[in-house]
């Protein structure tokens, strides 16, 4: 840790490092080497049982930045044993102690915010400022669920017939398997880990093999904060199916919380059925952004940029389809193209970079194919529309106008910096277009008529709606999708429900005292 420390009176105030503090390649090496490279099982870092390792690459340069232990089925079994063994004592740990642990992890994440952000930029590609934003967002789940660990609650009531007293309590559901994607390496982990720990569940975290370093760092901070052995276990692996088979087929596991693609989610739901696990599924999205004729265009264009370009378009909440009233569609598309065409692409630890690379070559090919398909069907490219030469997986921010209804770019989750614009003439048509997808995660509406915007939001099939804003996510909000975007909610007071079971205790009402 090389954060500058300023002394203010008796207090220490840390200044968050700048991206330029991390630009030196020597510094990258020091940073990635400071993160434990092994698996964390039963309170100890250890190599994979079979000695296997794998490499992690920087998507902006293609360089290998770390070599980590590669868990196999045997390691998965050890992690399940540890999580199962620790469950009873963790569940019995007073809520105040669980809350204090989460507060300590929160403080450590704050302390190392710069390092965590730089790690995310290195392994995932997002610009450093956005990575710092994710640290703030991700850390808030730790604080939010620390505050709620003490308030899990229950109720005491009477049977309607009067012969029973009824105690209804919530108990931890049990060992939880937490599987995260590569696009928000910190926040997707804390959004699962924090409610699980708050509720009294032990955990096995399996990060994406593309961006595991942030999770290794987070688990190291959990260890520093004093998490008891077996309560947090970490399985990094390139063989997710082998690891998941072992975890999901052990009847001591009680829960899977998965964030990732709908295709993998579907498969895991089927696997989870064998042991009737509780499932939380945060899956893909295809968010509509509806811009009504009366929208404040400055606000709508800024909101569109926020909703589209955060994370280089690689967010499940990313606006995928801009559905704009025909009277302003051309102007909206031109103004969006003007802004997106001027965004600076590059390695996110360089100053003034707005847009990083997409995650890998496969993603780059998929995005290029979506644009080519739209163009072949008659769409117009207003800016971008091409790969950026050189090392790394860069695609130029692209606005497509006049996109035909059949274009794949409107049906599939784009997961890249591509903004297709289509127009509508009536509100019915706008809602029909918005709902014309199997997904139902986020939606955005821009209008100065708030009552109308709310009417639309209620009729669009999505778990989340941003009205006159392109940024919705918050630790205090229940995040989750409708339709094939998933089940369950993360964050908010609802976030704890996914990690607790309701238990009912009946007590006969005696007759020893009657007034
Ligand atoms: P992915 O489905 O390929 O992988 C997600 C995780 O599942 C990774 O850890 C991966 O190793 C693991 N995995 C892959 N195949 C598996 C298998 N057969 N068995 C068990 N585990 C397996 O998704 P991704 O490419 O990492 O992430 C992008 C997807 O995640 C997008 O669809 C995006 O919309 C979605 N996402 C959703 C949310 C949400 O909250 N709804 C948030 C972020 C990302």
Residue ranges of the domains in the chain?
Answer: 40-149+173-283+486-496, 287-467
Which among 190, 204, 256, 261 is the best mutation to test ligand 1's pocket, defined by most ligand atoms within 8 Å of the CB? 261
The two beta strands, 418-424 and 5-8, are: unpaired
**Mean pLDDT within 316-323:** 98
Q: Is the C-beta atom of 300 inside 6 A of ligand 1?
A: no
Q: Is the C-beta atom of 284 inside 6 A of ligand 1?
A: yes
DSSP code for 343: P
Examine the pLDDT at 444 and tell me if it is beyond 70.
yes
Q: Measure the CA–CA gap between 444 and 40, rounded to whole angstroms.
A: 40
Q: What is the 3-state composition of the chain as percent helix, strand, coil, each rounded to the nearest 5?
A: 40, 20, 40
Examine the pLDDT at 5 and tell me if it is beyond 60.
no
Percentage of the chain surpassing pLDDT 70? 97
Which 3 state secondary structure label does DSSP give 286? coil
Ligand 1 atom 39, closest CA: 282
Examine the pLDDT at 161 and tell me if it is beyond 80.
yes
Burial class (CB in 10 A: 0-12, 13-18, 19+), 165: middle
Element (H, E) at 273: helix 262-273
Which CATH number describes the domain made up of 287-467? 3.40.309.10
pLDDT at site 14: 64
Q: Is the C-beta atom of 57 inside 6 A of ligand 1?
A: no
- How does residue 458 score in pLDDT terms, banded at 50, 70 and 90? very high
Q: Is the C-beta atom of 384 inside 6 A of ligand 1?
A: no
pLDDT at site 515: 80
pLDDT at site 64: 96
Angle 25-33/113-124 helices, nearest 10 degrees? 100
Q: Measure the CA–CA gap between 515 and 436, rounded to whole angstroms.
A: 64
- How does residue 512 score in pLDDT terms, banded at 50, 70 and 90? confident
Examine the pLDDT at 7 and tell me if it is beyond 80.
no
Q: For residue 110, what are the CA distances in angstroms to 53, 115, 183, 218? A: 30, 10, 20, 11
Query: What are the pLDDT digits (tens) for 358-401?
Result: 999 999 999 999 999 999 999 999 999 999 998 999 999 999 99
- Residues contacting residue 314 through CB under 8 Å, at least 6 positions apart: 183, 358, 359, 363, 415, 416
Q: Rounded to the nearest whole angstrom, what is the distance from the C-alpha of residue 177 to the centroid of ligand 1?
A: 14
Q: For residue 349, what are the CA distances in angstroms to 121, 129, 234, 353, 358? A: 7, 9, 27, 8, 15
Q: Do the Cβ atoms of 22 and 353 come closer than 8 Å?
A: no
The two beta strands, 442-446 and 287-291, are: parallel
pLDDT at site 514: 78
Query: What are the pLDDT digits (tens) for 79-118?
Result: 999 999 999 999 999 999 999 999 999 999 999 999 999 9
Token output for 408: 């794949």
Q: Measure the CA–CA gap between 499 and 183, rounded to whole angstroms.
A: 23
pLDDT at site 455: 98
String of DSSP letters for 30-80: HHHHTS--SEEETTEEE--TT--EEEEE-TTT--EEEEEE---HHHHHHHH
Q: Is the C-beta atom of 270 inside 6 A of ligand 1?
A: no
pLDDT at site 115: 97
Q: Measure the CA–CA gap between 76 and 146, rounded to whole angstroms.
A: 28
**Mean pLDDT within 203-210:** 98
Q: Measure the CA–CA gap between 307 and 470, rounded to whole angstroms.
A: 4
Which CATH number describes the domain made up of 40-149+173-283+486-496? 3.40.605.10
Q: Rounded to the nearest whole angstrom, what is the distance from the C-alpha of residue 180 to the centroid of ligand 1?
A: 6
Over the chain, what is the mean pLDDT?
A: 96
pLDDT at site 12: 46
Burial class (CB in 10 A: 0-12, 13-18, 19+), 48: buried
Q: Rounded to the nearest whole angstrom, what is the distance from the C-alpha of residue 445 to the centroid of ligand 1?
A: 27
Q: Measure the CA–CA gap between 290 and 37, rounded to whole angstroms.
A: 45
Examine the pLDDT at 6 and tell me if it is beyond 50.
no
Fold identical between 40-149+173-283+486-496 and 287-467?
A: no
Q: Rounded to the nearest whole angstrom, what is the distance from the C-alpha of residue 324 to the centroid of ligand 1?
A: 30
For the annotated catalytic residues, the residue numbers are 282, 316
Q: Do the Cβ atoms of 247 and 79 come closer than 8 Å?
A: yes
- How does residue 15 score in pLDDT terms, banded at 50, 70 and 90? confident
Which among 70, 181, 274 is the best mutation to test ligand 1's pocket, defined by most ligand atoms within 8 Å of the CB? 181
Examine the pLDDT at 70 and tell me if it is beyond 60.
yes
- How does residue 513 score in pLDDT terms, banded at 50, 70 and 90? confident
Q: Is the C-beta atom of 285 inside 6 A of ligand 1?
A: yes
Q: Measure the CA–CA gap between 204 and 232, rounded to whole angstroms.
A: 6
- How does residue 179 score in pLDDT terms, banded at 50, 70 and 90? very high
pLDDT at site 11: 44
Angle 427-435/450-459 helices, nearest 10 degrees? 40
pLDDT at site 4: 38
Of 427 and 3, which is predicted with more confidence?
427
pLDDT at site 13: 52
Q: Measured between alpha carbons, how far apart are the two ends of the chain, in Å?
A: 69
Query: What are the pLDDT digits (tens) for 463-508?
Result: 999 999 999 999 999 999 999 999 999 999 999 999 999 999 999 9
Q: Do the Cβ atoms of 316 and 490 come closer than 8 Å?
A: no
């Amino acid at each position: 840790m090389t954060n500058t420390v300023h002394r203010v009176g008796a207090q220490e105030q840390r200044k968050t490092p700048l991206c330029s503090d991390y630009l030196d390649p020597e510094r990258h090496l020091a940073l990635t080497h400071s993160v434990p490279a092994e698996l964390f099982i039963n309170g100890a870092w250890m190599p994979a049982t079979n000695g296997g390792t794998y490499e992690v690459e920087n998507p902006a340069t293609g360089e290998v930045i770390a070599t980590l232990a590669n868990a196999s089925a045997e390691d998965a079994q050890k992690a399940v044993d540890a999580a199962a063994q620790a469950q009873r004592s963790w569940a019995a740990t007073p809520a105040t102690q669980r809350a204090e642990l989460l507060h300590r992890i929160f403080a450590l994440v704050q302390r190392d915010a710069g390092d965590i952000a730089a790690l995310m930029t290195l392994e995932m590609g997002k610009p450093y400022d956005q990575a710092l934003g994710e640290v703030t967002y991700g850390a808030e789940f730790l604080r939010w669920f620390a505050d709620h660990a003490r308030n899990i609650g229950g109720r005491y009531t009477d049977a309607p017939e009067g012969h029973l007293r009824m105690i209804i309590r919530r108990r931890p559901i049990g060992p939880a398997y937490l599987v995260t994607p590569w696009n928000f390496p910190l926040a997707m982990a804390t959004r699962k880990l924090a409610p699980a720990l708050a509720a009294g569940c032990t955990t096995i975290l399996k990060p994406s093999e593309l961006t595991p370093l942030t999770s290794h760092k987070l688990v190291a901070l959990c260890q520093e904060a004093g998490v008891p052995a077996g309560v947090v276990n970490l399985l990094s692996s390139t063989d997710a199916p082998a690891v998941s088979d072992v975890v999901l087929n052990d009847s001591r596991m009680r829960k899977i919380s998965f964030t990732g693609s709908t295709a993998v989610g579907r498969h895991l739901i089927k696997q989870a059925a064998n042991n009737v696990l509780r499932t939380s599924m945060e899956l893909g999205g295809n968010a509509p952004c509806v811009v009504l004729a009366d929208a404040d265009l400055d606000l709508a264009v800024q909101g569109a940029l926020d909703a589209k370009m955060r994370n280089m378009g690689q967010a499940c909440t990313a606006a995928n389809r801009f559905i704009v009233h025909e009277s302003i569609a051309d102007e909206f598309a031109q103004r969006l193209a003007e802004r997106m065409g001027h965004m600076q692409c590059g390695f996110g630890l360089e100053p003034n970079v707005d847009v990083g690379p997409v995650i890998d070559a496969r993603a780059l090919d998929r995005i290029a194919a979506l644009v080519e398909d739209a163009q072949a069907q008659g769409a117009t490219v207003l800016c971008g529309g091409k790969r950026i030469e050189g090392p790394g997986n860069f695609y130029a921010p692209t606005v497509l106008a006049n996109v035909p209804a059949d274009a794949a770019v409107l049906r599939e989750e784009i997961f890249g910096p591509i903004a297709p614009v289509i127009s509508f003439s009536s509100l019915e048509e706008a809602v029909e277009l918005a709902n014309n997808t199997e997904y139902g995660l986020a939606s955005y509406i821009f209008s100065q008529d708030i009552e109308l915007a709310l009417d639309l939001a209620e009729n669009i099939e999505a778990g989340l709606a941003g009205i006159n804003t392109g940024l919705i996510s918050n630790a205090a909000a229940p995040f989750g999708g409708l339709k094939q975007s998933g089940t369950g909610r993360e964050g908010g007071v609802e976030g704890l429900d996914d990690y607790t079971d309701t238990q009912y205790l009946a007590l006969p009402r005696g007759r020893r005292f009657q007034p």
